[in-house]
Amino acid sequence: MYKGYLPISKEDLKERGIEQLDFVYVIGDAYVDHPSFGPAIISRVLESHGYTVGIISQPDWKDENSISVLGVPRLGFLVSGGNMDSMVNHYSVSKKRREMDSFTPGGVMGKRPDYATVVYCNLIRRSYKKTPIIIGGIEASLRRLAHYDYWSNKVKRSILLDSGADLISYGMGERSIVEIADALDSGIVVKDITFIDGTVYKTREKESIYDALWLPEWDEIKADKRKFAESFYTQYCNTDPFSGKRLVESYGTNFVVQNPPQKPLSQEEMDAVYALAYMRNYHPSYESAGGVPAIREIKFSLVSNRGCFGGCSFCALTFHQGRIIQTRSHESIIEEAKILTEDPEFKGYIHDVGGPTANFRAPACKKQLTKGACPNKQCLFPTPCKNLEADHKDYMELLRKLRELPKVKKVFIRSGIRFDYLMADKDKSFLRELCEHHVSGQLKVAPEHISNAVLEKLGKPSAEVYNRFVQAYKDMNKKIGKEQYLVPYLMSSHPGSTLKEAIELAEYLRDLGYMPEQVQDFYPTPSTISTCMYYTGLDPRTMEPVHVTSNPHEKAMQRALIQYRNPKNYDLVYEALTKAGRQDLIGFDKKCLIKPRKIGRNVAGSKPLRNTKTKTTVKQGKKKTIRNVHKKKS
């Protein structure tokens, strides 16, 4: 096996003695050969099975020659829009163009098209009429069946039809991509590759489809929001690799068929994936542009697990990685950590040891290993399942081993702690070790809201659980003699949130003595329960109506309420309180959010925070001022 970056030019092919590549991989990101980037994993997995892969990164979609630079592949083109959906990459929730693309050399915006997967496939198909095209990555995975597209405010067909591709490898595709490659290599025509789990194919032969659940037809889904919600929930209940059924969507005489998901990788298989010959950096050709900004967040981080049984409504992990936790062995992670410590840029700090949820290191219960996750029940919501095994012993042991490595000064946990899972663990040893060793002044957590009415729609635990965690965290830091704080992530305008609930959150923050510097508006991305609610106005789990905030002005009011202390938000807060009939919160009492209007000018409400310290922390070379929170009444 050739050691080095994968070929990106004809010169590279000549140097490696490759006359024709097996696969050409067209990607929307810069080429970063690191296991945190999907194309790197898929390429290296294929390479480990004897296939050659070349990379065309961010081709000029206006130039047909841009996808011919490596010649025609022997087996097919692979296409991925990138590590993010291209529309999320390009636009904020207000649909304004972002200024920076962290996955592009120099952070330059505009190096990939909108709906990149579709555009790249159409570009390829114009030149290569019969060459197989297999699409994957987050964009293809979450758009594999009919879906609501927030940016066009329309229901779109399966991306398989709009792209002209032959197959989708959805989810984490290490196993399915090798099966596809082997099938093509054996001479099977791509249209006959209909039997691989973790794939979506299209056919006109209705009689060939067997043992399947038929979703509502395309015309029904497009015309009837209730049908859309019913279809979505059927999909949601069939995302498990053990119990999931084959699903079919009809488009007149065309049929899009989703095979059941692939089974989770074993620990040995996960270890093998992360032990492949990654260069662990961006391609050297990007150095002159300043490199690829995204590498900074992950270069000294370790992936411990994948999958998440948290089941948050706004998260697409259920559709992509699934709800069954898959982990790497301690030996695999320690070996990678040793590699990190030898990097000349390593300063002694491991930035993260985690995954979608850092403190998940085992399936929620033993049953999941053979029967999968329950289709209609959540492991943690609304309360922890009686079968849940909340246990942090394995994670603590791993963290201790990493802390003991030579050259390692500190091991951080930044990928998120699921606090309700932590509270479900009767042994509080992990909370102590977390506070003692893995927090640097502040711990970011995600309660998202404080109104139980909204939390129920979010799929998050009740406010009481968060409040108990806040107190436990405070008590533990006091016990060990540390002054550390919580920084809560909060979301405005999620389905179910009216001005009433937004005001409830503002009052909570008032009592806490904290105003967040940043607030995230709910962002409707493909294939989440929350997006289904946003589009249909129905909770697909119950088919009951849900209040949806889609008006930009109402969104602005909800966001302003969370930052009611900011003088720029005075008019919006005043309007929101008046509209909600809560003028009792306009006045001079300490419980009021803002003061009455003054003649000639507006004023903000509360006085600046008292007893609020600031301190400076260094994050990747840049100074950043952080505000202590949860210091006042918790």
Enumerate the domain spans of the chain.
10-194, 300-440, 455-634
User: Per-residue pLDDT averaged across 244-258, rounded?
Assistant: 97
Render the burial of 206-215: b for 16+ CB within 10 Å, e for the rest.
Answer: eeeeeeeeeb
Nearest residue to 122 via CA among 177, 75, 67, 70:
67
Render the burial of 540-565: b for 16+ CB within 10 Å, e for the rest.
Answer: bbeeeebbbbeeeebbbbbbbbbbbb
Task: Output the six-digit token pair for 566.
Answer: 């900011």
- Residue 1, pLDDT > 90, answer no
Pairing between β-strand 301-303 and β-strand 281-282 as defined by DSSP bridges: unpaired
Q: Which H or E element spans position 218?
A: helix 218-223
pLDDT category at 312 given cuts 50, 70, 90 is very high
Q: What is the 3-state secondary structure (H, E, C) of 546-561?
A: CCCCCCHHHHHHHHHH
Which tens digit of pLDDT belongs to each residue from 349-390?
999 999 999 999 999 998 998 889 998 889 999 999 999 999
User: Per-residue pLDDT averaged across 469-480, rounded?
Assistant: 96
CATH topology classification for 300-440: Transcription Regulator spoIIAA (3.30.750)
Q: What are phi and psi of 389, to 5 degrees?
A: -110, 90
pLDDT at 10: 96
pLDDT at 513: 87
Is it true that domain 10-194 has CATH number 3.40.50.280? Answer: yes
Do domains 10-194 and 300-440 share one topology? The answer is no
pLDDT category at 597 given cuts 50, 70, 90 is confident
pTM of the predicted model as reported, rounded to 2 decimal places: 0.91
Q: Which amino acid belongs to residue 52?
A: T
CA 372 to mean position of chain CA atoms: 22
Task: Write the DSSP symbol of residue 356.
Answer: S
Pairing between β-strand 167-169 and β-strand 544-545 as defined by DSSP bridges: unpaired
pLDDT > 90 in the chain, percent: 89
Which tens digit of pLDDT belongs to each residue from 32-90?
999 999 999 999 999 999 999 999 999 999 999 999 999 999 999 999 999 999 999 99
Q: How many angstroms separate the Cα of 621 from the Cα of each of 413, 513, 628?
A: 18, 30, 21
Which tens digit of pLDDT belongs to each residue from 430-467?
999 999 999 988 999 999 999 999 999 999 999 999 99
Query: Other CB atoms closer than 10 Å to residue 604's CB: what's the count?
Result: 17
Q: For the chain, what is the mean pLDDT?
A: 93
